[in-house]
Structures are given as structure tokens and as C-alpha cells.
Structure 1
Amino acid sequence: MLSKNSSIVLSKLKYREYDLIVKCYTEQRGVVSYLLRGVLKSKKGLSKTVYFQALSQLEIEEVYKPNQSLHAIKEVKFSYVYSTLHNNIFKSSIVLFLSEILSNVLKEEEKNEDLFHFMATALQYLDNEDQFSNFHLLFLLKLTRYLGFQPESVNTDFSYFNLETGVFENSNHGIYSVSGENLIILKQLLGTNFDALNAVKITGKQRQEFLNMLLYYFELHLGSFKKPRSLQVLNDVFH
């Protein structure tokens, strides 16, 4: 079946000698993997790989066969052309980190237009923003809504947040209870949208500790979640 599908590239993997497998999150079908045959064989083919950088936003004309795991691409073009995301070392480290997480947590071939538009809009915001050191924190926090474990926003005046249950509480439950600076930052970010993110002031050390807490939250609620290998690069860049 030949159809058009808006897509965000999650990952690419060399397959055999000249082929690529590209994993995308698509507007119409959720996660879809495409096999690009012979794309690494010629200069003309290699020029096409520029489309498949991490988190690129594409319009794909696809040959989709429902009972197959790998599908084909007939035509591809950018639906949005980034101006900074792939050539700014700070932004590219965020892109590498988020693409690894998204590739890990988004597994289902299931349509979710709200999630697709959240991702596309947030990445366009990052592309156009000059102050973005806390972007990945808010992105991950907002992503939890679409993954089914968004922190409850009631009782935010309580003294603890329980990572296991996802609720604010007035008593300490040991290793799952968050307090102190991480709790303050969590409450700030829960009430913040991307366009107001610059008002949240966080030091490098606070950012790193809050991110570690967020990743632990993902681990608790997603059994197959793996801490991204690009985490160290991100921490080094934003320390």
C-alpha cells in the first residue's frame, strides 16, 4: 500500500553491507521501521542519508505492508528543516540523548497523533531557542503523560513526591520519596510550558541530579527501560 506519512527519525542501523534500517515515529502508524536497500552503495544513495539524522522531521511516501516488520520508502523530503539542531554541539547532545530514550520507550505500532505533534512541536521549539539547557528535563517530564505515568498534579503543597506511585505525599517512604531541591524543581517544571522554561533557574549540579531522578522514575514505570549510553556526553556538555 502506497501512502504518505509524517515521521520523526528515532534511530538508524547499518544492515548488511549497503543497507540501512531506519526506525521512525510516525503520525499515522506510531513506530515504523523502514529498510533502505543499497543506500550506502553510491554517492547518490549516501546523499539521502542526510534525511535520516536523529529526530529529523520527514514527509515519507511509503510502501507499507501490514504483516511485515520492515517497510519501504519510495520518496522522502523534510517536513521541517532544522537550522541549529544538528550543528550546535549543545543541541546535538540533547538530540542524541532524547533520540536514544525515545527509541527505547516507543515500541508500539499504534497511532498517537497527540504524541507525534508534541514531539514535533517541542523539537521545533528547541531548534529556534537560544536558552535551552533545561529543555530535556521538561521534555521528559511531559513525555510521561503519553507513556501513562505522568505525576499527579494534586497536593503539590505536600512535602514529598513518591516516585513509585507518582503522587505527592506528606510522609517519607524511603528510597522512593523525593524532597529538597529535586522536589522544588519538579514542582516548578510541572507548572511550566516550554515558552516559560527560561524562568526556571537550575545549576549544572541540580540539573544532573534532577535528570538522574527522572531516569529512575522512568525505570520504575517502564520495566524494559535502559539508561541511555549518551547520558555521560550530555552531563559533560551541560555540567
Structure 2
Amino acid sequence: MTASFSIFVTSTEIFMIVTTQAIVLSAIKYGDTSLIVKLYTLSDGIKSYMLKGVLSSKKGKLKKGYFQPLTQLEIVANHKNKGTLESLREVKTVNFYQSLQTDVRKSSIALFLSEMLVISLQEEEVNQTLYHFISNSFQWLDMNEEIANFHISFLIELTRHLGFYPDNSHEDYPYFDLAEGEFVTSLYNEVLSEENLVNFKKFLHRDYDTSAKIKMGKTHRAELLDSMIRYYQLHLSDFKKPRSLEVLQQVFG
């Protein structure tokens, strides 16, 4: 599906009716009956919407169940593009998940990675390649069972789209400099080394199927994930550690 647009002019405002695919990043309760939802849209990148009364209405077109983390939708929305909250006219689910939101392992990953996406994509504009990467990634997660390494593989691959994918020109060097994003021979900044470095290298340039077969104990997986979060922190301004990290670590390490 490609996005479609129609421009409408009233006596008081100009707005655009947009039909596009979108992925739910977050939904925050507003007052007693409403939600503010953040979506990553194919047409416009990050967009936030006010859903008035959605928590109290039983007959409306918009149901709160549509807005679970990483649900993939087709939406019809009013976009004023003034930097304010937009509104939704219609919503339907596409690319239905079979297990992602009911399997506790997968839902833990989904919660953590949706939070990482909210933190990482705050200034993101239209990027259809990134949109399809996110969409395809979570369809893979939904359809597969060897998922203990998925979140690490996803975070490494996401850096390719964010502009700080690791430079592996000198992969034989003994350290990986987290601040510079490259392999080095000296301890100048924070680095990955020893077992953590060995495990990190295993994920570079690997797809999800190959990454799923990487063997790591819970402790080493937790250490590598902490290092990846630190890597993001060093490369993204105003980065905050995800609150859902502790839950994920309890499930996978």
C-alpha cells in the first residue's frame, strides 16, 4: 500500500485526509477516557494523535485494542501539520500478529523495543525504508520461536537506519570504541572487549535467522544488551534508559 492524500479547506482551517500504514509506538492515557498515541507512519514518519473518549466508548470506530505496542495499522487521519496533536477518522489492523502480543517472551520484547523506538525516532521524518524494516522485523518476531537474540539483532540493525552502524573496517582490532563506532587498538573511550566483543561481532551483518542461532548465556546476553543501550546513549541526544529493560532482562537477559 502507498499513502493517499486529500486536501480539505474549511472556513477556519486547512487539513489533509491521509490514508496510510502505521505502526503503534506508544499509547498514553490522557484524563479518564482518552489516549494520546504515537505512530510511526509510512506517509509522514512520527505522528501523535489525540483519541478522545476512546477508553469509555463501546460503539465507536476506534477501540483501545488497536493501540497495543507495535500493532500494524491502516489509518485514515486528519493532518493539520501544525505541530499539534492530529486526529484519526478510521483504523483497521493489517499484518495481523498471531503470537506477538500473547506470548510473554514476545510481548516483553515488543514493549522494550517500542520504547527504544520512541526514544530513538523522536526527530525522525519520512523514511519508508525504515518503516518497512520495522514492519518486517516484527512480522519475523511474530512468526518465529527462536527469539532470545532478536532484540540485540534488531538494535544493531536499527543503527544502520539511524546513521551509526558499527564500522567494521578493522574488525580484527582488540576493542570496539562505543563513542567512535569503530574497532580500535587503544583504550581511549569506553570500549567492548573480550567476551562481550566476541559476542558483538557475531551479530554484525547477520539476518534474524542467523542471529537466532548464536549461542549465549543469560549473563553474556545481558552484558551485550547493556553495551548496546550505552552505544545508543552515546550517539543519541537526550537518550533515557528504557523503563521496560528490567522486565526484559528477567525474561531473557
Alignment check: 8 A CA contact 1:39 1:46 kept: no
Question: Structure 1 residues 238, 193: CA separation in 2 closer, same or farther (over 3 Å shift)?
Answer: same
Return the alpha-carbon distance in structure 1 between the equivalents of residues 39 and 57 of structure 2: 23
Q: Which structure shows the bigger proportion of residues in helix conformation?
A: 1
Pick the aligned partner of 1:85 from 100, 105, 120. 100
The equivalences for 1:60-99 within 5 A come to 60-99=75-114
Give ranges in structure 1 of 5+ residues lacking alignment: none
Aligned equivalent of 1:55: 70
TM-score (norm 1): 0.95
Return the alpha-carbon distance in structure 2 between the equivalents of residues 41 and 12 of structure 1: 15
TM-score (norm 2): 0.90
Give ranges in structure 2 of 5+ residues lacking alignment: 1-15
TM-superposed CA distance for 1:181, in Å, is 1.1
Alignment check: 8 A CA contact 1:10 1:103 kept: yes
Return the alpha-carbon distance in structure 2 between the equivalents of residues 42 and 70 of structure 1: 20
TM-superposed CA distance for 1:46, in Å, is 9.4
Question: Structure 1 residues 167, 74: CA separation in 2 closer, same or farther (over 3 Å shift)?
Answer: same
Return the alpha-carbon distance in structure 1 between the equivalents of residues 124 and 207 of structure 2: 28
Q: Mean Cα displacement is larger for which, 24-33 or 146-155?
A: 146-155
Alignment check: 8 A CA contact 2:62 2:91 kept: no
Pick the aligned partner of 2:28 from 2, 5, 13. 13
Q: Does 1:131 align with 2:152?
A: no
TM-superposed CA distance for 1:185, in Å, is 1.2
Say how many residue pairs are matched: 238
TM-superposed CA distance for 1:105, in Å, is 1.4
Return the alpha-carbon distance in structure 1 between the equivalents of residues 44 and 124 of structure 2: 6
Return the alpha-carbon distance in structure 2 between the equivalents of residues 91 and 58 of structure 1: 19
Pick the aligned partner of 1:23 from 30, 33, 38. 38
State the AA in 2 paired with 1:6. Answer: Q
CA RMSD of aligned residues (A): 1.4
Alignment check: 8 A CA contact 2:29 2:36 kept: yes
The equivalences for 1:1-239 within 5 A come to 1-45=16-60, 48-108=63-123, 110-173=125-188, 176-239=190-253
Q: Look up the SS of the partner of 1:80 in the other structure.
A: coil
State the AA in 1 paired with 2:111. Answer: L
Question: Structure 1 residues 227, 5: CA separation in 2 closer, same or farther (over 3 Å shift)?
Answer: same
Question: Structure 1 residues 64, 213: CA separation in 2 closer, same or farther (over 3 Å shift)?
Answer: same
Return the alpha-carbon distance in structure 2 between the equivalents of residues 232 and 109 of structure 1: 27
- Percent sequence identity over matched residues? 45
Alignment check: 8 A CA contact 1:62 1:74 kept: yes
Return the alpha-carbon distance in structure 2 between the equivalents of residues 105 and 209 of structure 1: 21
Alignment check: 8 A CA contact 1:18 1:38 kept: yes
* Deviating 4+ runs (over 3 angstroms): none
TM-superposed CA distance for 1:223, in Å, is 2.1
TM-superposed CA distance for 1:110, in Å, is 1.1
Q: Look up the SS of the partner of 2:154 in the other structure.
A: helix
